[in-house]
Amino acid sequence: MKRQLPLLIAPALVAFGFSTASAITVDGSESGEYPSAVATQDNQTNFGDSNIGAVDFANGSEIDEAYGVIGGGSLFLMLGGNLESNYNKLEIFIDSVTGGQNKLRGDNADVDFNGLNRMGDDGSGNGLTFDAGFEADYYMMLTGGDDGGGNYQAFCNFADLPTGGGGVGTFVGGGVGTQFLGQALGISFAINNSNTAGVGAGAGLDNGAGVTTGSEFEIPLSAIGNPSGCVEVIAFINGGSHDFLANQVLGGLGGLDNLGEPRNVNFDSIAGTQSFTVCPGPVPVDQASWGQIKSQYR
């Protein structure tokens, strides 16, 4: 006898992400796949306002808007804006489990030519410091530029941040192109640099709402400690050697100039909250997976 799938089960499967596959395509664009923006930039950019409009190359860096959701066993994150193709860095720190580092140590994993430790304590007691209560557990970095032959290439690195230092660094992947799926640790990432809207150039107040192309990531929850609830994230633009912090931070800075030397930056001394929250939510279900679910009830 053919069994009917109870009508109440279908919405629950979708709403709570019980599908084994997500329909969020990691391609550097937000096309209605995310519930809503979770943070919006309030600061102009002093790292160049890109006006090229190409998917790959950009002549400025800004983080205009953040979209995020947890579902289907992954953290999905889309940062609308641009990452200048001169190997500037998009730095992302995630607070997802207990412990971690409120002030970056100088003895963390060596990733991107020791770029993570370039932001940490150099032995004098300094080190990039987050808002009170934010203790970074994981770090991810995206960068890109010309490969020397006129082709755009991008690279991504990842590290865990144990409270006592050390940890493991991972080269996630990359190469020529703008989309890299199923890389190390199961991480996928993509970049679409075509944005020409968002915030303007300068150091004053602005509004980055409405930007839907930029840098997008899918990070398996297993890579960030298998959190069961919301996670806290901070993202910012840094110089090519991880040595000069831009005024592009989410949450925003409220109208400030570039922050400069990262070891001297203390976000807790800046008004507002320099992070944003990403929570579990509805993730579109891949149609093929939905068909497989229905077949089990026939």
- How does pLDDT run across 63-114, given as a tens digit for each residue? 999 999 999 999 999 999 999 999 999 999 999 999 999 999 999 999 999 9
- Whether residue 249 is found in the same domain as residue 148: yes
Counting residues of the chain whose pLDDT is more than 70, the rounded percentage is 88
Give the pLDDT band (50/70/90) at residue 23.
confident
- Whether residue 148 is found in the same domain as residue 230: yes
Residues 6+ apart with CB under 8 A from 75: 68, 94, 217, 218, 219, 220, 221, 224, 231, 278
Between CA 94 and CA 137 the distance in angstroms is: 6
Two structure tokens written together for 250: 């989410």
Query: Which tens digits make up the pLDDT trace of 154-181?
Result: 999 999 999 999 999 999 999 999 999 9
Between CA 80 and CA 36 the distance in angstroms is: 12
Query: What is the total count of domains within the chain?
Result: 2
- Whether residue 105 is found in the same domain as residue 238: yes
- Whether residue 215 is found in the same domain as residue 192: yes
Query: Which tens digits make up the pLDDT trace of 175-201?
Result: 999 999 999 999 999 999 999 999 999
pTM: 0.90
Hey, what's the torsion of the CAs at 277, 178, 186, 252, to 10 degrees? -10
pLDDT at 21: 54
